[in-house]
A and B are shown apart, each in its own frame.
Chain A
Amino acid sequence: AQSVAQPEDQVNVAEGNPLTVKCTYSVSGNPYLFWYVQYPNRGLQFLLKYITGDNLVKGSYGFEAEFNKSQTSFHLKKPSALVSDSALYFCAVMDSNYQLIWGAGTKLIIKP
């Protein structure tokens, strides 16, 4: 069965420092991986996805994610964190029925 793990419930980063939010996956077949962000009282907003090609995927708001097939990981990164990046981040994998299978989410807190 397909699954996604986000091993950290919360990540704390100082403003201006690089951030990483971790995601590992388990799929049969090709992985189609997504990152979404949820700001307070807002919906799930698409950030970026990996389908095929370059292992480094660039997305909205300066975020990027690195696909690593050998480690079955798809970590979300940003070189310099902003306070406004504070939110809940979800990793998801699409299964063969086009359903998104979700991780539990990671709360990112950026401190000034």
Chain B
Amino acid sequence: EPEVTQTPSHQVTQMGQEVILRCVPISNHLYFYWYRQILGQKVEFLVSFYNNEISEKSEIFDDQFSVERPDGSNFTLKIRSTKLEDSAMYFCASSEALRSGETQYFGPGTRLLVL
């Protein structure tokens, strides 16, 4: 069964450093998402992406964040200058379509720790 994959599984970085989290969505999916979960808090939507453009973004997704589809398979989330409060589990997801009730399939997550 096709799966969303994410690398790395864990990343430790120093405050102020740039990090890139990578995701390979399910191959026939066209819509991609990033969510995050700070320890002890709810999962939060960050951004959705389609056709090389951001479709929606939350208030969390400020100028420090960017997303890219650099090639036909990868989907990346870049945090330009990490802050302590960026420490969280980051989940990538993909879906076939963008419509009400469409299932989003999630990867295993990248645990980011900012020191």
Contacts and interface: CB of A to CB of B under 8 A. Distances in A.
Interface of A: 30, 32, 34, 36, 41-46, 49, 51-52, 90, 92, 94, 96-105
Interface of B: 4, 6, 31, 33, 35, 42-45, 48, 55-56, 58, 91, 93, 98-109
A98 B91 contact: no
A99 B108 contact: no
A43 B108 contact: yes
A90 B101 contact: no
A99 B45 contact: yes
Contacts of B4: 43
Nearest to B107: A43
14 contacts: A30-B100, A36-B106, A42-B108, A43-B108, A44-B91, A46-B103, A51-B100, A97-B48, A97-B56, A98-B102, A99-B45, A101-B45, A102-B42, A102-B44
